[in-house]
Amino acid sequence: MLNSSHKIKQVMEGSPAEQAGLTPGDIITKINNVELVDIFDYHYYSDDADITVELLHEDGTTSSVFVKKEEGEDLGVIFCNGLMDDYKSCSNKCAFCFIDQMPPGMRETLYFKDDDTRLSFYRAIMLL
Ligand code: SF4
């Protein structure tokens, strides 16, 4: 799925991504010719040494960039959406739902009924 969730928010200084010329605002469309769905795809397909990253730039142009890196080395980008995909919401309608019982006027994200198991896996991976 190609969307703004794949947009780069930050490129880490000294990273392979910076050396290859990736910049904030670029959208990663493919790695090694594979379309990415979410952050798991990103980590899986960017794990190889020497990868090809296809980009959609803010001005609408596209480019293909060869990134030289070690196997397992992080590419060095942070995405605008940490999951690189829409978050899946709970479809239950529990009568006692703690989200529905929250007082009004709080931060908007506190009202989101998160039911995306990928977030649990992702947190576990990031803690390793
Ligand atoms: S967020 Fe939790 S409590 Fe609320 S409806 Fe979903 S499962 Fe039920």
Query: What are the domain boundaries of the chain?
Result: 4-79, 87-128
Q: Which pLDDT belongs to residue 97?
A: 95
Strand pairing partners for 53?
A: 31, 65
Task: Return the ligand 1 atom nearest residue 91 CA.
Answer: 6
Cα–ligand 1 centroid distance for 116 (angstroms): 12
Phi, psi of 110 (to 5 degrees): -70, -15
> Could you tell me whether strands 51-56 and 62-67 are parallel, antiparallel, or unpaired per DSSP bridges?
antiparallel
Residue 97 CB coordination number (10 Å):
12
Partners of residue 102 on adjacent β-strands: none
- Quickly name the fold that domain 4-79 has: Pdz3 Domain (2.30.42)
Closest residue by Cα to atom 8, ligand 1, is 94
Cβ–Cβ under 8 Å, residues 12 and 78: yes
Cβ of 1 closer than 6 Å to ligand 1, yes or no, is: no
pLDDT score of 1:
47
Which is it for the CA torsion 40, 57, 8, 117, positive or negative? negative
Average pLDDT per run of 10 along the chain, which is 128 residues long? 81 97 96 94 93 95 96 94 88 93 93 86 72
Is residue 64 helix, strand or coil?
strand
H-run or E-run covering 119: helix 117-127
Distance of CA 12 to the CA centre of its chain: 15
Q: How far is the CA of 11 from the centre of ligand 1 (A)?
A: 36
Q: 92 CB less than 6 Å from ligand 1?
A: yes
